[in-house]
Amino acid sequence: MPTELRYAEPTPADPNLFVVDAEMLGMKGYGGLYILRAPKPALVETGFSHTTPKVLKALEELGIAPDDVAYIAVTHVHMDHAGGAGFLAERCPNARVICHRVGAPHLINPEKLVRSVQRAVGPLFPYYGEMKPIPEERLVIVQGGARFELGDGYALEVIDAPGHAPHHACFYEPQTRGLFTGDAVGIYRREIGFIMTTPPPSFHFEESLATLNRLRELKPEWLYFTHYGAHPEPSTLLDEYERRLRAWVGRIEAKWHELGDENEEALYTHFLEEESQSPLARLYEPHALQAEVRMNVTGVLLYLRRRRESGTDRN
């Protein structure tokens, strides 16, 4: 094995856990995937289709033959998490792709998903690459409670984690007491803190909160963020994320009531102006900031409308 790693970054959590930076939206340290170098090696998340060559190089420098990869586990089917799954499944012919049962049909036939992502991310779509259908027999279709032994004490336990999307799962790794969070705990960058990810079409606030409680009960010692990296102090981070999420939904709800349902553009403009003053503006290019804000506002707005229509609106 080469002594210097170029593609696989070691994590502080465990000598066999590595993160690969997918350089999402052209940014370093914004989104990636994990390689767990266990006797049965596993990938958690895949990055985009165009991340696949980098993943193969990372496997090579870790001394893992593609034929030996046992599992490719995705927290959900959004393209920054599962976009590369079909491509990696082809290159790792013995790997089974672990996916939550609600999302699995989209990996078998990704056409509708790709169109939905295109609507949600708008001008950022060129970053998202493409998807390749995965033959059904390569999938292991799971729900919370499933457990995969990887050898030497490593394992992946599936935790139902709806909220960001109804088919979202997290994976708990018992040996390192770490939790692969997907998007269930937002996007975290140490220098600016949390960034919301509340996308259409199915963001659900109460389910997100219930998921955070379920994750707390596991008492993890590490959070392995897809966006981005392994962080200690999970209880502080889970509390902080919940506070930020409540505030975000609360602000949108208040402004929506103030502006009225027909003033959707004014709602976007308001939050874009606000976020342009926030630390986010230092991170994103202006067009990316605009697309992200629109996506996160739309997700909450659709949720608020659904809640009003179902008669459970508190107002």
Q: Which residues bind Zn ion (CB under 5 A)?
A: 80, 183
Nearest approach, Cβ of residue 211 and Zn ion (Å): 15
- Which residue lies nearer to Zn ion by CB, 164 or 270? 164
Nearest approach, Cβ of residue 147 and Zn ion (Å): 24
- Which residue lies nearer to Zn ion by CB, 104 or 120? 120
Q: At what angle do helices 286-309 and 111-121 cross, to 10 degrees?
A: 110
Nearest approach, Cβ of residue 45 and Zn ion (Å): 9
Nearest approach, Cβ of residue 110 and Zn ion (Å): 16
Contacts by 140-143, CB closer than 8 A, 24 or more apart: 140/71, 140/96, 140/97, 140/98, 140/99, 141/99, 141/100, 141/101, 141/104, 142/98, 142/99, 142/100, 142/101, 142/169, 143/100, 143/101, 143/169
- Which residue lies nearer to Zn ion by CB, 19 or 38? 19
Nearest approach, Cβ of residue 50 and Zn ion (Å): 16
- Which residue lies nearer to Zn ion by CB, 16 or 226? 226
- Which residue lies nearer to Zn ion by CB, 16 or 298? 298
Between the two ends of the chain, the Cα-to-Cα distance in Å is 61
Per-residue burial over 257-296, b = 16 or more CB atoms within 10 Å of its CB, e = otherwise: eeeeeeeeeebbebbbeebeeeebeebbeeebbbbbbbbb
Residue 43: name the closest of 173, 214, 234 by CA. Answer: 173
